[in-house]
Chains A and B, each alone.
Chain A
């Protein structure tokens, strides 16, 4: 890897307790993501890929291990510190878009900026830029219900990038879209990486979507089993019996 590491996951362990049973979701996981890299996380259901994504995005806290994003160790932050950190450093793209139905596209994109100390002009400029980047300048006053699935996901992406975050995390961003819209969304994500040098971590079940990433990490039962650089043969990165 030539670029600097922006996400460093080290000896990560996450377990849940269901009744008296302890379930290990992630076990001693080590992953690094370079700045400007497009990484896909793949694996069967229950393999821990979404949990890993949530931990990297600061939505959950690990049982043990260390997660560093940029120069900050997020694994030891409190909930409110994480909330503040997320505002500036993480853009999240959801499978089901999760736009606020009562707000227009413009207001949805503007939402995270309300938490930042920006002037009205700065905020407006950032929202318009984000909407223009995703090609929805002409739909900014539309509510989510008046937009197609693909358009809603574009608004979701605009909302994710509007704060100019350190990383963009996407959980099945094409999972609810038809193939044409999915392809457009993936084009957009590639464009963000190429033109804006955005670091993107995407969870997907879809091999076609994963193909767009530069690197694919396969998880199984909470462990990293293979790591593939796009175009290469899969390599066994880590297997523990």
Chain B
């Protein structure tokens, strides 16, 4: 009973929160139009006659449109809510697709070449390759030569659990590490680069990196993950590697810092010092008197930032020389292409979202508007006829109907994307684990394309009913009434 009451209260509050901005916008729009009308009535006499008439009539027509929306508040509210929900779903889908697209698109001025094992998936390269690859890359002409600290990094993926029992592994106790040289965090990791962060966050990252360099066992963890495992910065953790990856390897780590708030994409992830992984593998060898199975292939990715496309081709040529990097052979590709290849596994679901789900939602949105406006037009056919009798031209009646739907769509789109932008992004983004991306955020561009989407749906959905309204035959309407 109490639960039911709570649910009812939440639904009522949610409706109130969603509808309040709609009613407020309607009220404000009417107030604005009336004020504009008051202003134009005083300035119109100084304008040419036709322009003056238009200037005076336009805000009054707008008020009629607003009043028509208010006429059946229940229907308008339901239409608004339906469009709101659909724009929200599209905003979420588009945010995910847009982000993935941006990651798979080459970025001018920030070319990152990715070297991976040519045939093995996941890529597994010997650690000696790091020094050898770096040495080869350093043979590039000085003008395009990468900085070994700022432009090169390696990643080793380490999946661990806080519980030693694999049967008790859960989303809550799993920690996924990127094992790397901490210095790479400041220059090579998306959204963590010093020049992209706010000054206080940039300092936070510098402090984190220093702490990791000072303490080999130091890790950086996302705040969200810390909350999930109920720990805080300074706490020590014991992490047990997944047997399928680093069997019998354990880490005793200390949380030395968290990711900056603006780098929400790293929620759920963690950074481990690569040197610690190396030491753990050495310890394993000493203890077990044999090397760990992954000891000679624990480098998953080797990243190098190059100046431009020709430099990347030059790096490719160097690495492809006969006899070099042959066991195992490596391949080089753009970082964006690599991510795209990685996302290939998800291409069907992503294509389904893009080409089926989004168009289907848009069509449903148009139909919702079409139905709502059609009902309204059918109810108001006598009014349309009266307006025609009074001298309104068919196109003016068409504009009144389309304007109603356009305003409804625009308000829904605007309110939805504005609320979504601030609410979703403030509450930590959209949880949608895909590949190594765990969270997505509504982009600021949604603030313009949300309203545009609403407007397009409004115009498309209302066009047929509006055409029917403009074509009302006065004598037929009144004959039916009689």
Q: Which residues of A in the span 80-102 have a Cβ within 8 Å of any Cβ on B? A: 80, 83-84, 86-88, 90, 92, 94-96, 98, 100-102
What A residues does B236 contact at CB under 8 A?
none
B213 sits at the interface (CB 8 A) = no
Q: What is the total of A-B residue contacts with beta carbons within 8 Å?
A: 87
Give Cα A86 to B388, complex, Å.
Answer: 9
A87–B482 touching, CB < 8 Å: no
What A residues does B52 contact at CB under 8 A?
117
Measured CB to CB, the nearest residue on chain B to A60 is: B475
What B residues does A120 contact at CB under 8 A?
41-42, 44, 56
The listed residue (B49, B61, B71, B475) touching A54 by CB distance below 8 A is B475
B67–A86 touching, CB < 8 Å: no
B394 sits at the interface (CB 8 A) = yes
The listed residue (B53, B392, B475) touching A51 by CB distance below 8 A is B475
Give Cα A80 to B475, complex, Å.
Answer: 16
B68–A80 touching, CB < 8 Å: no
What A residues does B386 contact at CB under 8 A?
94, 98, 100
Asked if A117 meets B478 with Cβ closer than 8 Å, knowing A83-B393, A102-B71, A103-B64, the reply is: no
A209 sits at the interface (CB 8 A) = no
Q: Which residues of B in the span 362-407 have a Cβ within 8 Å of any Cβ on A? A: 382-383, 385-394
A117–B50 touching, CB < 8 Å: yes
A60–B474 touching, CB < 8 Å: yes
Contact with B along A6-26 (1 / 0, CB 8 A): 000000000000000000000
Measured CB to CB, the nearest residue on chain A to B69 is: A102
What B residues does A92 contact at CB under 8 A?
389-390
Asked if A59 meets B389 with Cβ closer than 8 Å, knowing A50-B479, A80-B394, A98-B382, the reply is: yes
Q: Which one of A108-116, A126-134, A147-155, A189-197 is at the B interface?
A: A108-116
B307 sits at the interface (CB 8 A) = no
Measured CB to CB, the nearest residue on chain A to B388 is: A83
B263 sits at the interface (CB 8 A) = no
What A residues does B388 contact at CB under 8 A?
59, 83
A119 sits at the interface (CB 8 A) = yes
B70 sits at the interface (CB 8 A) = yes
Asked if A50 meets B61 with Cβ closer than 8 Å, knowing A80-B394, A119-B44, A120-B42, the reply is: no
A114–B61 touching, CB < 8 Å: yes
What A residues does B57 contact at CB under 8 A?
114-115
Measured CB to CB, the nearest residue on chain B to A59 is: B474
A83–B478 touching, CB < 8 Å: no
B75 sits at the interface (CB 8 A) = no
Q: How far is the CB of B44 from chain A (nearest CB, A)?
A: 7
B44–A79 touching, CB < 8 Å: no
Interface CB pairs A-B, < 8 A, 12: A60-B475, A79-B394, A83-B388, A83-B391, A87-B390, A96-B382, A98-B386, A100-B386, A101-B71, A111-B390, A114-B61, A115-B53
| A-B CB proximity, top 4 nearest | A87-B391, A120-B41, A102-B67, A98-B386
Give A residues with C-beta under 8 Å from B: 50-51, 54, 57, 59-60, 79-80, 83-84, 86-88, 90, 92, 94-96, 98, 100-103, 110-112, 114-120, 123, 159, 171-172
